[in-house]
């Protein structure tokens, strides 16, 4: 589901609201809990709503030795820039800084979805899933750059391909989490 939805969300920003509604519907159908479903759907919209463009652009559209863009304001109002700069100096190690910043940003994206699910499913599966999805975000961006010359149903370029790859990763992590929760894998 997310394989295509993540790409559509990337093309049309309003599509994040559609994805939020679909998440709410899925959680409601699995839990019969309107409050948790609404919170998870809103969590997706809120988590997705603020920027990451400089980091995705660096990792998915530019070669590793590209110029430093540390003058960006992205992540300065929510702590991402500060946290990532504790690991890598953005003025001298922009590429590596972008990897860390995008991973933190991915956790920020999925944590608001995971927190309401803790009420239903316990701590481990939702929170580990949010962290794994966060770590996979820069992996998808780097793979998007590597496969940027593919033409997938008319979508070309590193940014577009990383959205497809990250959608596949989202489907995989959520699917594995569901299988663990219902007892097939653990």
Q: Which phi and psi (to 5°) does residue 74 adopt?
A: -65, 135
Q: What share of the chain is helix, strand, coil (3-state, %, to 5)?
A: 70, 0, 25
What is the structure's pLDDT at 177? 76
Is residue 116 situated within a structural domain? yes
pLDDT < 50 positions in the chain: none
What is the structure's pLDDT at 70? 59
Is residue 22 situated within a structural domain? no
Is residue 21 situated within a structural domain? no
Q: Which residues contact 9 (CB under 8 A, 6 or more apart)?
A: 15, 16, 18, 19, 48, 163
CA dihedral 177, 181, 184, 186 (to 10 degrees): 90
What is the structure's pLDDT at 138? 96
- The 8-class DSSP code of residue 155 comes to B
Is residue 138 situated within a structural domain? yes
3-state secondary structure at position 152: strand
What is the structure's pLDDT at 130? 93
Structure tokens at 69: 């863009």
Please tell me the distance from the alpha carbon of residue 184 to that of residue 112, in angstroms, as a whole number.
26
174: domain range? Answer: 52-182
Is residue 36 situated within a structural domain? no
Please tell me the distance from the alpha carbon of residue 47 to that of residue 111, in angstroms, as a whole number.
7
Q: Which residues contact 162 (CB under 8 A, 6 or more apart)?
A: 56, 59, 60, 140, 141, 143, 144, 145
Is residue 2 situated within a structural domain? no
Is residue 102 situated within a structural domain? yes
Is residue 10 situated within a structural domain? no
- Number of domains the chain contains: 1
User: Which residue in the block uniquely carries the two structure tokens 């430093």?
Assistant: 68
What is the structure's pLDDT at 10? 63
């Amino acid at each position: 589901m997310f394989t295509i939805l993540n790409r559509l969300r990337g093309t049309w920003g309003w599509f994040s609201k559609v994805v939020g509604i679909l998440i709410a519907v899925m959680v409601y159908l699995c839990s019969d809990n309107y409050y948790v479903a609404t919170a998870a759907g809103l969590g997706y919209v809120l988590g997705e709503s603020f920027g990451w463009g400089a980091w995705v652009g660096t990792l998915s559209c530019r070669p590793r030795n590209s110029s430093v863009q540390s003058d960006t304001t992205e992540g300065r109002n929510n702590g991402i820039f500060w946290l990532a700069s504790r690991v890598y100096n953005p003025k001298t190690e922009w590429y590596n800084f972008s990897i860390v910043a995008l991973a933190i940003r991915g956790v920020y994206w999925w944590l608001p979805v995971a927190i309401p699910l803790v009420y239903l499913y316990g701590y481990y599966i939702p929170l580990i899933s949010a962290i794994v999805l966060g770590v996979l975000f820069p992996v998808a961006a780097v793979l998007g750059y590597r496969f940027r010359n593919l033409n997938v149903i008319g979508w070309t370029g590193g940014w577009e391909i990383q959205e497809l790859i990250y959608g596949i990763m989202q489907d995989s992590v959520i699917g594995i989490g569901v299988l663990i929760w219902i007892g097939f894998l653990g």
